[in-house]
Amino acid sequence: MREIRTIGLFAVGGVIGLVVDAGISQALVSFGHWNAYLARIVSFLAAAVVTWWWNRRHTFAGRSSGRRAHAELLHWLALMSVGAVVNYGIFAACLMLFPSLHRWPAVAVAAGSAVAALVNFSTARGLLFRHPKASR
């Protein structure tokens, strides 16, 4: 039952990250006239920071990375970069296959995020937040 709760909280964090990622990407393209590929780099970094905070505070609150916050964030970014490669690959493939999505990159962001979520959960739970917090 605890693992189901963990997966649910991770999914909530993923949705929050998706809103940040897609929102920033879409805003940079629509209002800043950015290239969709470059906008995605900025939006991913912002979303990764937000999801790290959420998961640290909620999803994995009972677990520890054994690192200070700044080191944990850097480790999170490194681990999420594995999922980001998957995510960005699907994002780019969507833009290539469906050129109209250049105007609506949020759709391609969502497609990439859905697949990468599986990779991200596995790396976050298995490699970063793998130790239960010590009882006080």
Domain tally, the chain:
1
> Residue 40: which domain range?
1-129
Let me know if residue 40 belongs to a domain.
Answer: yes
Let me know if residue 136 belongs to a domain.
Answer: no
Residue 136 exposed, middle or buried by CB count within 10 Å (0-12, 13-18, 19+): exposed
Let me know if residue 64 belongs to a domain.
Answer: yes
Band of residue 73 on the pLDDT scale cut at 50, 70, 90: very high
- Supply the pLDDT for residue 96: 96
Q: Are 9 and 59 in contact (CB under 8 A)?
A: yes
Which of the two residues, 19 and 114, has the higher pLDDT score?
A: 19
Band of residue 84 on the pLDDT scale cut at 50, 70, 90: confident
